[in-house]
Structure 1
Amino acid sequence: MLEKGKISHRQLTVLTILYTIGTSILIVPSIMAVFSKQDGWIACLIGTAANLLTILIYSALASRYPTLTLAEFSEKILGKWLGKVISLFFLSFIFLLSSFLLRVVGNFMTTHIMPNTPIEITIILFMAVVVYAVRLGIETTARAAEIFLPFVIALFLFLTFFLLPQIRIDRAEPVFENGIKPILLGAFYYFNLQEQVILMMLVPYTNRPKKARSALLAGTLLGSVVIIVSVLLSTLVLGTEFTQRNMYASYTLAKQISVGNFLQRVEAMLAIIWLITIFFKTVVCMYAVTLGTAQTLRLKEYRTLTLPFALLLVFLSLLVYDNIVSFIAFTPKVFSVYATIFMVLIPAGLLGIDALRSSMKGNQTSS
């Protein structure tokens, strides 16, 4: 393996929590309000259950090849050339996702934080920090995640506590007003916004790869709790109609907090939470795509790919969509279907083929 650093079971849990929160804390409340209305929190619960089920598939697959990443064991299962094709196909998905993450950062910062700063500058600066983290390695990134997680949790609890007086339970009623179909649709979109399959690239670099399942399950569950609470608060404080009209509903939600005259611009705390979590999600994606490409192409060092990939990502991030309206239209309806191929079909297919091969070998041995 190219990367020699190891991360602990706890560090994998921390990275999974931050990765799960990622972009979702900002954009999921509005998407859930659009498709599932006031039942968005129920859709998130179902989507979380689906994520946990797929992690069981990923873990079963990873346990068969505990020292190999998905890019490596694809060749073991499918053969050299078909395995490389599937690997590169999977890596293209991570690359596209990374460009989306960059663009979301650029849009948010130029819309709410630094409106006079060109989006290109914001994206380039953010990408520079990501590249630096990726070059330091996953072990250093995991240690940094342990430092930042308590701040993320503390800020989120602070925001939640001061929003409690503004909650109106009637805004979540009536439950199941539009039936189960919109809830399942919202659950499908939520499920595909998590992209937990990419975390499989980290499993071989844990100190106990065969026990990574519990870390991934715990991290996904804890991160999902933050998202579900955000969706609930957006619904109960802002209302469904207001939430679905705001792309960054959680940020708007934080503006509702009033803590006297001594604490203003509380929404900056939500922006800090989001920037920290999306930074770690982008680092994990960038690390996965550079490492996976190096493994597929049999390169000795993944770090040589970080700069050229960073330049390509900056360029692609400026092209992936024109504006927020096109992003809202594209992400749930198109990207979610596309992501399903990599989150469900490819892992399940690899697991099924590998299990079938093992069964056939066992029958041949017994005969």
Structure 2
Amino acid sequence: MEQSKLTVWQFFVLTLSFLIGTSFFFLPGGLIAAAKQDAWMVPLWGGAAGILISFLWFYLAGQYPGLTIVQICTAAAGKGFGGLLALMYVAYFTQLASFITRNLSDFMKQTLMPLTPLTVFHAMFLLIIAYAVIKGIETIARSTELLFPIVTMTFIFVFIFALSEWNWDRFQGMFRMDVWKTVKDTRSIFGFPFMEALIFLMLFPYVQARRKTTFILAITVATILLSATTFFTIGVLGVSRASHDAYPMFVIVQEIHVGLFFEHLESTVALILLAAIFIKLSIAYYCAVAGLCQLFQITSRSWLALAFILLISGLALGYDNMVENIEFSKKHDFEYSLFFSFIIPVLLLLITWMRRRKKEKKEEPCST
């Protein structure tokens, strides 16, 4: 494992950027379609569940200080079964990186460059990210520190100038949802983005102080921001428009007009907002490569990082279109993420507990 250190601020920015990176683009429309005027409440219980499950991850990491989730698998369950679990986590991180890559390329193709092949977008972004991965997690963290204020100011700019379209009448009919049906229809939010945060078990060893507090604070802030963004989208676009747009935030940007000077800002703003997606993809890409290096004890990750460009780009082409991607996320993302974020960690804790009990019994003195 590389000898790197992350400051509290870097860890906070990485976690927050990962959670909101693609969520601002893809979540509001689907949530509004399912929960109508009450959609802004959905991220609140999703974030609460994310905080609760994070205590399971903290406890697991506390049993194996200084180890990543890949190393914990082999330490807890041995090289055979534990190695298989570790390889599954590497596959999960790789698949997550491919999801993000496809989301990014679909966004670019649908909104900015409709005639450009998807593979061109894949190559452009993955080459840069592979270079960052080769340089290490500190390079990614410093890049995130640079991009985070730009992304934040962009969102503030959008919110301020889009308030002219705000209409409180669009919230009529609030607090009428069927809670159980809404939870069932929007269960994917538990997986995306909150359960995906399990990936930070790969970065915990690099954080030297206030790891738990910073991680929970980042989830809390992300939850509030996602809820506020959904609330804002309803107030500006309304339920009908927002639920039928794949990228409601981009639609809001398109309609910003301030005099004759500030107009047609969607291309410039969209490129800046892509920085948030870029950060999330960098983290997933890095964890996939680092996990494979740790599993097979590979000292240099340079060629492996470059080879992953072809793998991730190929996996990102696994969907025929954007609708198929959205449908898979809506129907299966919760169960898919639950397996890696809850079931396997619980299994590792059970194995750890049984092995320690067995060891304690062997060490007990024989009664005479």
Which residue is equivalent to 2:57?
58
Q: Indicate the residue corresponding to 1:49 in structure 2.
A: 48
Matched residues in 2 for 1:221 and 1:139: separation? Answer: 24
Alpha carbons of structure 1 residues 350 and 158: separation in structure 2 relative to 1, 3 Å? same
- Are 1:199 and 2:200 counterparts? yes
**Do 1:38 and 1:172's aligned partners in 2 also have CA atoms closer than 8 Å?**
yes
1:145 positional shift: 1.0
Give the superposition deviation at 1:226: 2.4
Q: Deviations over 1:20-43 (max 9, x none)?
A: 111111000111122222221111
Contact kept in structure 2, 1:44 and 1:228, CA below 8 Å? yes
Residue in 2 aligned with 1:343? Answer: 341
Partners of 1:357 and 1:232 lie apart in 2 by 49
In structure 2, give the amino acid aligned to 1:205: Y
For residue 108 of structure 1, report the CA deviation from its aligned partner: 0.9
CA contact (8 A) 2:16 2:222 kept: yes
Residue identity matched to 2:346: A
Asked if structure 2 preserves the Cα contact closer than 8 Å seen for 1:47 and 1:187, the reply is: no
CA separation of 1:265/1:63 partners in 2, compared to 1, >3 Å: closer, same or farther?
Answer: farther
Counterpart for residue 323 of structure 1: 321
Amino acid at match of 1:334: H
**SS in structure 2 of the partner of residue 47 of structure 1:** helix
Q: What letter matches 2:162 in structure 1?
A: L
Indicate if the aligned counterparts of 1:23 and 1:278 stay in contact, CA closer than 8 A: yes
SS of the equivalent of 1:193 reads helix
Counterpart of 2:217, as a letter, is A
Task: Classify 1:174/1:358 alpha carbon distance in 2 versus 1 (closer, same or farther; 3 Å).
Answer: farther
Aligned counterparts, 1:1-367, within 5 A: 1=1, 3-194=2-193, 195-208=196-209, 211-268=210-267, 270-318=269-317, 320-358=318-356, 361=359
Structure-1 separation of matches of 2:363 and 2:237: 64
In 1, Cα distance between the equivalents of 2:347 and 2:174?
37
Aligned pair in 2 of structure 1 residues 247, 280: CA closer, same or farther (>3 Å)? same
CA contact (8 A) 1:32 1:40 kept: yes
Cα distance change on mapping 1:366 and 1:313 into 2, 3 Å: same
What is the identity, as a one-letter code, of the residue corresponding to 1:59? F
Normalising by structure 1, report the TM-score: 0.93
Q: What is the one-letter code of the residue matched to 1:322? A: D
- Superposition TM-score, scaled by structure 2 size: 0.93
In the alignment, the residues of structure 2 paired with residue 37 and residue 161 of structure 1 have an alpha-carbon distance, to the nearest angstrom, of: 23
Q: Measured at CA, do residues 225 and 274 of structure 1 come closer, stay the same or move farther in structure 2, by a change above 3 Å?
A: farther
Determine if contact 2:6/2:206 at 8 Å carries over to the other structure. yes
State the AA in 2 paired with 1:21: I
Q: Is the 8 A contact 2:51 2:216 kept in 1?
A: yes
Change (3 A) 1:179 1:116: same
| 2:188–2:333 Cα contact (<8 Å) kept | no
Partners of 2:241 and 2:307 lie apart in 1 by 42
Structure 1: which 5+ runs fail to align?
A: none
Q: Is the 8 A contact 2:8 2:211 kept in 1?
A: yes
Contact conserved, 1:35 with 1:182, CA < 8 A, in 2? Answer: no
CA displacement at 1:95 relative to structure 2? 1.0
Matches of 1:253 and 1:47, distance apart in 2 = 25
Of stretches 82-91 and 326-335 in structure 1, the one that deviates more from structure 2 is: 326-335
What SS does the corresponding residue of 2:187 show, helix, strand or coil? helix
Give the superposition deviation at 1:366: 6.4
- Greater alpha carbon shift after TM alignment, 29-38 vs 137-146: 29-38
Aligned residues: 363
Query: How far apart, CA to CA, are the structure 1 residues paired with 2:168 and 2:190?
Result: 26
Tell me whether 325-334 or 185-194 shows the greater mean CA deviation.
185-194
Closer, same or farther in 2 for the Cα pair 1:61/1:162, shift >3 Å? Answer: same
- Quote the sequence identity (%): 30
Is the contact made by 1:66 and 1:203 (CA closer than 8 Å) also made in structure 2? no
* Aligned-residue offset at 1:361: 4.6
1:133, 1:142 → 2: CA distance? 10
Of residues 10-19 and 326-335 in structure 1, the stretch that sits farther from structure 2 once superposed is 326-335
**Change in CA separation of 1:213 and 1:356 when aligned onto 2, cut-off 3 Å:** farther
**Aligned residues: CA RMSD:** 1.9
What amino acid maps onto 1:341 in structure 2?
Answer: F
Which structure 2 segments of 5+ residues have no match?
none
SS in 1 for 2:263: coil
**Cα displacement (A) at 1:273:** 4.5
Q: For 1:46-68, what per-residue CA distance to the aligned partner results, in whole angstroms no more than 9, with x for missing partners? A: 00111111111111111222211
Deviation of 1:93 after TM superposition, in Å, equals: 1.3
